[in-house]
Amino acid sequence: MDIRADICVIRFAELSTKGKNKKDFVKLLRKNLIEAMRQFDGVKVVGSFDRIYVHLNGADDSVVLPRLQQIFGISTISLAVKVSQDMDQMREVAIALMKREAKTTFKVVTRRADKTFPLVTDQINRAIGEAILMNTDHTVDVHNPRIKVLIEIRPGEVYITVNTVQGAHGFPAGIQGKALLLLSGGIDSPVAAHLSNKRGIELECIHFQSPPYTSQAALSKVLGLARKLTAGQSEIRIHIINFTDLQLQINHFIPESYRITIMRRMMIRIADELAKKRKCKALITGECVGQVASQTLDSLQVISDVAILPILRPLVMFDKNDIIAIAEKISTYEISIRPYEDCCTVFTPVNPVTRPAIYKAEFYEKAFDFSPFVIECVEKSETIFVKYNEKRAEDTLF
């Protein structure tokens, strides 16, 4: 008997959420799921208070399931087969599903949402359990079964499930509102993006480029990374800042050892301005203590000093290996290691200060009036929309 899954049953993660919070959580998760399922013809998302059902309507579960596993806010996903309220049919499907599994232990668990069904939970458990025992090699283990055969009796229909997989957990992206991520072409900031999405933060990105010192290919690389990030939120806005004029000013007026520090402070000022315009509640970076000269505690202090919004640094205590492991999992690593210049690298001084002081940074910044440059950077920013699964010409450039 060839059976295909009809429905994916979605259970929620982080169930500490209650009352109104839970309502918002479910509403947003459903919206994110509808968005993510748009690419599959016929697939329908139907919500209830404690679950969401994704009706496949003929779509291939082996393609839909991996996409569902990328959506934050889901604890587990079960593939269910829909049958009518008929014990013979229920037995037949349960046996067929369990025949596909290698010899294992199981237990039948019934949820009787439709109280008019003539048999009670215990009777259904026993009947289906016996049928599986008689027709397969599996054995029953009521305490610690490897497979739970879930039977859900609903008005007019029954869902049968043997296959439950883990979801991405976390919170639905957007439940916390928006933050602005400083996205470079490196390994770290895309990982910071992923972790932020998982905490329920929706992102807009800001990227600094310095043409002609940075190339179109470097920008394509960043757009390629953003495309990968649309696994966590279906579309992302990237604000491209032309940083060249301000960097040339920095190069001209600021002593070499402080250039990186001042450049970072300018990036934060610009990001702050833009975040205000875009109603973002925080800035996010891929910074990590100790990684490079600009990421010592002293540097982080001097950089943070100019920020108005909080700067979130999800990777601040991570080891590089752990960051790379996540980058590989979310498929950004491959793109990040491609060798294109970043606006930071083209102007990197030989000996950047590792222990900058706020008063010195402030003193050097008095050498020129940077405010008009900051304002111009924000005003002349260009916005690019990147969507899940959409191919653009730039994607092929790198």
Site for ligand ATP, rule CB under 6 A: 182-184, 186-189, 206-208, 285-287, 291-292, 294, 342-344
Tell me whether residue 16 or residue 321 sits nearer to ligand ATP (CB atom). Answer: 321
Tell me whether residue 7 or residue 315 sits nearer to ligand ATP (CB atom). Answer: 315
- Give the nearest distance from C-beta 180 to Mg ion in angstroms: 17
Instruction: Give, as ranges, the residues between 174 and 213 that touch Mg ion (CB under 5 A).
Output: 184, 186
Tell me whether residue 150 or residue 326 sits nearer to ligand ATP (CB atom). Answer: 326
Instruction: Locate 19 and state its tokens.
Output: 């009352």
Q: Does 332 bind Mg ion (CB under 5 A)?
A: no
Tell me whether residue 25 or residue 398 sits nearer to Mg ion (CB atom). Answer: 398
Alpha carbon distance 130, 375 (integer Å): 74
Q: Which does 165 bind (CB under 5 to 8 A by kind): Mg ion, ligand ATP, none?
A: none
Tell me whether residue 172 or residue 186 sits nearer to ligand ATP (CB atom). Answer: 186
Tell me whether residue 36 or residue 191 sits nearer to ligand ATP (CB atom). Answer: 191
- Give the nearest distance from C-beta 189 to Mg ion in angstroms: 7
Tell me whether residue 188 or residue 202 sits nearer to Mg ion (CB atom). Answer: 188
Q: Which does 365 bind (CB under 5 to 8 A by kind): ligand ATP, Mg ion, none?
A: none
Q: Which does 197 bind (CB under 5 to 8 A by kind): ligand ATP, Mg ion, none?
A: none
Show the binding pattern over residues 142-181: x = contacts Mg ion (CB under 5 A), - = does not. Answer: ----------------------------------------
Alpha carbon distance 261, 257 (integer Å): 8
Mapped onto helix, strand or coil, the DSSP state of residue 241 is strand
Tell me whether residue 128 or residue 263 sits nearer to ligand ATP (CB atom). Answer: 263
Instruction: Locate 23 and state its tokens.
Output: 């309502």
Question: Could you say which DSSP state residue 8 is in?
Answer: E
Tell me whether residue 292 or residue 357 sits nearer to ligand ATP (CB atom). Answer: 292
- Give the nearest distance from C-beta 342 to Mg ion in angstroms: 5
Q: How many residues bind Mg ion (CB under 5 A)?
A: 2
Q: Which does 187 bind (CB under 5 to 8 A by kind): Mg ion, ligand ATP, none?
A: ligand ATP
Instruction: Locate 242 and state its tokens.
Output: 């032309």
- Give the nearest distance from C-beta 181 to ligand ATP in angstroms: 7
- Give the nearest distance from C-beta 315 to Mg ion in angstroms: 12
Alpha carbon distance 93, 99 (integer Å): 10
- Give the nearest distance from C-beta 336 to Mg ion in angstroms: 9
- Give the nearest distance from C-beta 237 to ligand ATP in angstroms: 14
Q: Taking a C-beta distance cutoff of 8 angstroms, is the pair 109, 125 a contact?
A: yes
Q: How far apart are the two ends of the chain, measured CA to CA in Å?
A: 48
Q: Does 247 bind Mg ion (CB under 5 A)?
A: no
Phi, psi for residue 227 in degrees, rounded to 5: -60, -40
Alpha carbon distance 321, 325 (integer Å): 6
- Give the nearest distance from C-beta 70 to ligand ATP in angstroms: 21
Rg (CA), the chain: 26
Mapped onto helix, strand or coil, the DSSP state of residue 383 is strand
Q: Looking at beta carbons, which residue is closest to Mg ion?
A: 186
- Written as one string, the DSSP assignment of 147-216 is EEEEEEEETTEEEEEEEEEEEEES--TTTT-EEEEE--SSSHHHHHHHHHHHTT-EEEEEEEE-TTTS-H
Closest-CA residue to 218 (of 391, 377, 342): 342
Q: Which does 261 bind (CB under 5 to 8 A by kind): Mg ion, ligand ATP, none?
A: none
Q: Looking at beta carbons, which residue is closest to ligand ATP?
A: 186
Side chain identity at residue 315, one-letter code: L
Instruction: Locate 17 and state its tokens.
Output: 């959420």
- Written as one string, the DSSP assignment of 38-102 is TTSTT-EEEE-SS-EEEE-TT--HHHHHHHHTTSTTEEEEEEEEEE-S-HHHHHHHHHHHHHTSP
- Give the nearest distance from C-beta 203 to Mg ion in angstroms: 17
Interface with Mg ion (CB under 5 A): 184, 186
